[in-house]
Amino acid sequence: MISSLWNLGAFIVALGILVAIHEFGHFWVARRCGVKVLRFSIGFGKTIWMRTGKDGTEYAVAMIPLGGFVKMLDERVDDVPEELKSQSFNRKPVLARIAIVAAGPLANFALAIVAFWFMFMIGVPSVKPVIGEVVPHSVMADAGVTNKAIITAIDGQKVQDWNDVSLKLIEHMGEPSMVMQLYLEETNYTVSRQVDLSEWQFDPERESPITSMGLTPYRPAVSQELAEVIKGGAGEKAGLLAGDKIIAIAQQPIDSWAMLVEKVQNSPDQTLAVSILRNGQQLELTMTPKGKTGTDGSFKGYLGVAPVVASYPEDYLVDIQYGILDSVQQSVERTWQLTALTFKMIGRLITGDISLNNLSGPISIAKSAGASADYGLVYFLGFLALISVNLGLMNLMPLPVLDGGHLVYYTFELITGRPVSEKIQEFGFKIGSVIIMLLTGLALFNDFARL
Q: What is the set of active-site residues?
A: 23
CA neighbours closer than 13 Å in the CB half-sphere of residue 432: 20
Determine which helix (DSSP H) or strand (DSSP E) holds 363, and give its type and residue range: helix 362-375
Which spans in 172-317 are helix H?
209-212, 234-237, 257-265
Name the burial class of residue 22, with classes exposed (0-12), middle (13-18) and buried (19+) by CB atoms within 10 angstroms of its CB: buried
* 327 three-class SS: helix
Which spans in 172-315 are helix H?
209-212, 234-237, 257-265
Whole-number Å distance between alpha carbons of 266 and 248: 15
Q: Give Dmax over CA atoms of the chain in angstroms.
A: 92
Q: What size, in residues, is the chain?
A: 451
CA distances (Å), origin 198, targets 129, 213, 216, 252, 284: 23, 12, 21, 43, 52
